[in-house]
Chain A
Amino acid sequence: MLLLRCPNCGIEAEETELTPGGEAHLKREGPGSDEVSFESYLFTRQNPRGVHFERWRHAQGCGKWFHAARDTVTMEVLGTYSAQVTEPPAEIRAEIERRRG
Chain B
Amino acid sequence: MRRYSAFAIAREAARHHQGWEKAWRSPAPKDRYDVIVIGAGGHGLATAYYLGKNHGIRNLAVIEKGWLGGGNTGRNTTIIRSNYLQDPSAAIFEKSRSLYETLSQDLNYNIMFSPRGVLMLAQTEHEVRGWQRTAQANRLQGVETQFIGPEKVKELVPIIRLEGPRYPVLGALWQARGGTARHDAVAWGYARACSDMGHDIIQQCEVTGIRSENGQVTGVETTKGSIGCGKLAIVVAGHSGVLAEMAGFRLPIESAPLQALVSEPIKPVIDVVVMANTVHGYLSQSDKGELVIGGGTDGYNGYTQRGSFQHVEETVRALIETFPIISRLRMLRQWGGIVDMTGDRSPIISTTPLGNCFVNCGWGTGGFKAIPGSGWAMADLVAKGTPGPLAAEFGLNRFREGRFIDESVAAGVAH
A residues whose Cβ falls under 8 Å from a Cβ of B? 1-2, 15-16, 19-20, 22-23, 35-36, 39-40, 42-49, 52, 54, 70, 72-73, 75
Cα A23 to Cα B300 in complex, Å, equals: 9
| Interface residues on chain B, number (Cβ under 8 Å) | 23
A sample of 21 cross-chain residue pairs with beta-carbon separation below 8 angstroms, ordered by A number, consists of A1-B308, A15-B310, A35-B400, A35-B401, A36-B400, A39-B252, A39-B399, A42-B343, A42-B399, A43-B342, A44-B252, A45-B254, A47-B251, A48-B301, A49-B239, A49-B241, A49-B242, A49-B303, A54-B301, A72-B302, A75-B302
Cα A28 to Cα B310 in complex, Å, equals: 33
Number of A-B contacts (CB under 8 A): 64
B66 located at the interface, meaning its Cβ lies under 8 Å from any Cβ of chain A in the complex? no
Decide: A45 and B299 in contact? CB cutoff 8 A. no
Decide: A47 and B241 in contact? CB cutoff 8 A. yes
Which residues of chain A have C-beta atoms less than 8 A from B254's C-beta? Answer: 22-23, 45, 47
Query: Would you list which residues of chain B between 277 and 319 have a CB under 8 Å from chain A?
Result: 299-304, 308-310
B250 located at the interface, meaning its Cβ lies under 8 Å from any Cβ of chain A in the complex? yes
Minimum CB–CB distance for A41 against chain B, Å: 11
Which DSSP category, helix, strand, loop or mixed, fits chain B's interface?
mixed
Cα A36 to Cα B397 in complex, Å, equals: 10
Cα A46 to Cα B251 in complex, Å, equals: 8
B255 located at the interface, meaning its Cβ lies under 8 Å from any Cβ of chain A in the complex? yes
Query: Would you list which residues of chain B between 158 and 176 have a CB under 8 Å from chain A?
Result: none
Which DSSP category, helix, strand, loop or mixed, fits chain A's interface?
mixed
In the complex, per-residue mask of B225-256: 1 if CB is within 8 Å of any chain A CB, else 0:
00000000000000101100000001111110
Asked if A39 meets B253 with Cβ closer than 8 Å, knowing A48-B241, A72-B301, the reply is: no
Give the residue name and chain of the B residue nearest to A1 (CB): B309
Name A75's contact: one of B304, B310, B400 (CB within 8 Å).
B304
Give the residue name and chain of the B residue nearest to A16 (CB): B310
Cα A73 to Cα B241 in complex, Å, equals: 14
Which residues of chain B have C-beta atoms less than 8 A from A48's C-beta? Answer: 241, 301
Which residues of chain B have C-beta atoms less than 8 A from A15's C-beta? Answer: 308, 310
Decide: A20 and B300 in contact? CB cutoff 8 A. yes
13 extra interchain contacts, Cβ-Cβ under 8 A, other than A43-B252, A43-B342, A47-B251?
Answer: A1-B310, A20-B300, A22-B300, A43-B399, A44-B252, A44-B399, A45-B250, A45-B252, A45-B253, A46-B241, A47-B241, A52-B301, A75-B302
Minimum CB–CB distance for A2 against chain B, Å: 8
Q: Which are the 5 A-B pairs with shortest beta-carbon distances?
A: A47-B241, A43-B252, A20-B300, A39-B400, A20-B299
Cα A48 to Cα B251 in complex, Å, equals: 11
Which residues of chain A have C-beta atoms less than 8 A from B309's C-beta? Answer: 1
Minimum CB–CB distance for A95 against chain B, Å: 19
Minimum CB–CB distance for B408 against chain A, Å: 14
Cα A46 to Cα B240 in complex, Å, equals: 11
Asked if A73 meets B304 with Cβ closer than 8 Å, knowing A15-B310, A43-B399, A44-B252, the reply is: yes
Name A47's contact: one of B301, B310, B400, B401 (CB within 8 Å).
B301
Give the residue name and chain of the A residue nearest to B302 (CB): A72
Which residues of chain A have C-beta atoms less than 8 A from B241's C-beta? Answer: 45-49
Which residues of chain A have C-beta atoms less than 8 A from B239's C-beta? Answer: 49
Cα A35 to Cα B398 in complex, Å, equals: 12
Decide: A47 and B304 in contact? CB cutoff 8 A. no
Give the residue name and chain of the B residue nearest to A70 (CB): B300
Minimum CB–CB distance for B380 against chain A, Å: 25
Which residues of chain A have C-beta atoms less than 8 A from B310's C-beta? Answer: 1, 15-16
